[in-house]
Amino acid sequence: MKLAGNHTVKEIATLLNCHFLGNPNQLITGINEIHKVETGDLVFVDHPKYYQKALNSNATIILIDQEIACPEGKSLIISKAPFDDYNKLTKHFSPYIPQNSMIGEGCDIHPTANIYPNVFIGHRVKIGANVTLHAGVNIQDDVTIEENVIVGPNSVIGHYAFYYKKKPSGYDRMHSCGGVLIQKNAEIGALCTIDLGVSGLTIIGEGTKLDNQVHVGHDTVIGKNCLFAANVGIAGCVIVEDEVTMWGQVGCASDVKIGKGAVILGQSGVSKDLDGGKTYFGSPCGEAKSMFREMAAVRKLPSILEKL
């Protein structure tokens, strides 16, 4: 999430009632989680396991729970509860705004868009030329839909990211302040759900087609001309390159990268990076030819055991 205006480390630390290390006049230009962080951004870290990842990232300001040596050119804001203070910042700069109308504030809807009855459109939504939103579609805040996109009935675009921190009192949700971008000529089936980015964008690439009841998690980036059959479920922070095909009920874990042109057969489970240009099957999936040979060998085991 990029911030409007100039905000210094001293200003942000004062807002959080925290002390800081580094240049008090260093500017904060954005707030991002580690997967999306850029130079000028603030990121939070609250576990020693991830200190170095945060300190060595592109982030300029690190919201951290321990006072440690400050890297050159960066600033640290010391917080007793970085997750809570990060949430405080995102809610401050991107507050929840209740809505009791069918179209929110700050929207830009092209006059050629075909919007069926009972479509809900949140705040700051952009809808391009010749977009079709079928009945019951729910478009949440900060969604951009480019030209010629079709969204099927009762799909939800831009609901909260599924991102929680476990505490003794229960689960606290990370405040979502990102967005969704659906690029031109994409099609979204009926009853699909595409989650809002936590602080960046969830992206559905140009010409990509999603069947009914497909789920795409927060901050996932799907490339051009991909094809996902019904009941595919993609977790957060996944990168799917161009021209990938996933057949019915494929599931994909978070932080996975799937190479260009990969084909994943039905009911497969993706738990690690996959090279492009190959066909995969199984759970956890492997190259289809190898997996089929293993299945054939397993079927022969009973007869082999009978001969022993």
Q: Is the peptide bond before 284 cis (omega within 30 degrees of 0)?
A: yes
Look at strands 156-159 and 138-139 and give their pairing.
Answer: parallel
Whether the Cβ atoms of residue 12 and residue 33 lie closer than 8 Å to each other = no
Tokens encoding 295 = 């299945």
**Which is catalytic among the residues 35, 175, 215, 218?**
218
Asked if 218 is an active-site residue, the reply is: yes
Residues linked to residue 240 through DSSP beta bridges, in sequence order: 222, 258
Largest CA-CA distance found in the chain, in angstroms, rounded: 80
For residue 239, CA distances in Å to 116, 148, 253, 264, 298 come to 32, 24, 11, 15, 33
74's CB contacts (< 8 A; 6+ apart) are 22, 55, 59, 60, 61, 62
Q: Which residues are catalytic?
A: 218
